[in-house]
Structure 1
């Protein structure tokens, strides 16, 4: 009986220790120092898109996500933590990126995320790394040339859940109907099948879609400014400051411009000066 009691006591002690250790390792994100942790591990975990051509797209041939934001994240990681540092990528969507950051699954979001007053209530943003503007993608020959046509014709515009593009178009084209899809791949499929007359989001994303689908063109100029920033937890000020310093250094040493040119030099009508604005 004594042996049984001793065994039970040992098991209880081990269980208590496990609970304590687990509790210590699961501090809320607001109580962690992400910069110090990343400096020790020489790794930054980024939330990135994998369905957005030119910015972050999964290459089915080798299973790697590739794009402007991927290369920029790699460059920032090495600039912050050293040449031997590594960037780890976790796929996010417009609707999952904020919860994943809040839960501590990722250290930062670099995923075509516009810096808006509403989002700044929840997260902190780095300086702008890509200056985009909201526009429309339509089939060649479409009668819709701009957002005013969309409003006048009371057409259906396609968007993506979690993106602020749908809210923006509702303000400037209140007569238009809105259909939201899960991601850009579904939205493009819906546009091709005639479920909508136009697809709306940032022009940088639309340029990528038009490159892949030559029968579709970006039209109407931009009707809302969309400055992209890297989102981090509000409590992680040292991390955000380090990101900003790295961005500044990458712009100064020319790496930023090289990455931008690599991904957008073949895009018809792309404005480098506008995109590189801070």
Structure 2
């Protein structure tokens, strides 16, 4: 059983700690309903590698994503959403989700973690089914402690086991959306596994693993709202997005075409859900995968329109830790191998299959070397 410590940072910036039992909790976890989301939203929240593979063309879309459907791209309403191609930087001319080929060699970053004997990871504790606190004990009884669980957390444990062996020590640091990159750049965490979209702009500040999930920015709105997508139905409406997110970037790109749309900014997507519930916003935009979780929590809302982007989640690490990026990419190849019997598929079935609008497979890795 993994040794796990969780550190959270409250709105005042005061650290608190608790020891949570390890192991993955599967089906039967307590549902974090929207009322629970209201309580959580106020808190700003403080692993044998396989042979190298994945010779997919980095200039084509990642995998066969069900999200590559007619949608709105940039400021052009009605265009087709496509994966982002970088104009400059390490991925110039390539898909933003292109990463370093795995080699299984322990360099300075990997050795640093192994010598410490603990993996320090930035995560979310408020994203239902991705990274959130279970309110149910192992035997189903009441408990005064809670454990961070979810799809992202399963991946963290696989990475930690590859680096540190059986029963690895993991320090989870729950961090807000806008602090993901600063936490990596400052060395506060070894990596961030927090449903973080890979973008060309972010590659300028942090390095990413190959993609481990595909998603896209999509609207979530009340069923009775009459909102149909990123279109004229947003005229006079307030649309919420988390600060420092690709959702906020997408809304700002479209504001010239939708001048009567008001953008509401909150700290994160859960805060936007609360704003929606309180009547402070008419819709929210976030990753469709996260939005599906919100719809599972609150039956009065639903996904509307098509995704306006095609994006990929990646594990974010320090730009200097290339050996760690390669190591994680090796873990991902092992984690996704085996089709329906893969660890990735097991985790997907446990956490996401019942909540996603379309079924997904793990994306194909793209490598530049």
Q: Same fold (TM over 0.5)?
A: yes
Q: Which residue is 2:186 aligned to?
A: 103
CA distance in 2 between counterparts of 1:150 and 1:58 reads 36
CA deviation string 1:71-111 (max 9, x = no partner) = 11111221333223233211011111111111111000111
Q: Which residue is 1:169 aligned to?
A: 251
Q: Which residue is 2:108 aligned to?
A: 33
Matched, 1:144 2:227: yes
Q: Which residue is 1:119 aligned to?
A: 202
Q: Which residue is 1:277 aligned to?
A: 363
Deviation at 1:57? 1.1
Query: What are the ranges of 5 or more consecutive residues in structure 1 without an aligned counterpart?
Result: 1-31
Q: Which residue is 1:21 aligned to?
A: none
CA contact (8 A) 1:136 1:201 kept: yes
SS at match of 1:45: strand
Aligned pairs for 1:19-98 within 5 A = 33-60=108-135, 62-98=145-181
Q: 1:257 aligns with which of 327, 335, 345?
A: 345
Q: Which residue is 2:278 aligned to?
A: 193
How many equivalent residue pairs? Answer: 244
When the two chains are superposed, the root-mean-square deviation of aligned CA atoms in Å is 1.7
CA distance in 2 between counterparts of 1:42 and 1:272 reads 35
CA contact (8 A) 1:148 1:173 kept: no
Question: What TM-score do you get using the length of structure 2 for normalisation?
Answer: 0.63
Query: What are the ranges of 5 or more consecutive residues in structure 2 without an aligned counterpart?
Result: 1-106, 136-142, 365-369
CA contact (8 A) 1:157 1:179 kept: yes
CA distance in 1 between counterparts of 2:279 and 2:266 reads 14
Matched, 1:130 2:210: no
CA distance in 2 between counterparts of 1:75 and 1:90 reads 17
More helix by share: 1
CA deviation string 1:243-275 (max 9, x = no partner) = 0000001111411111111101221523213xx
CA contact (8 A) 2:353 2:359 kept: no
Deviation at 1:59? 2.9
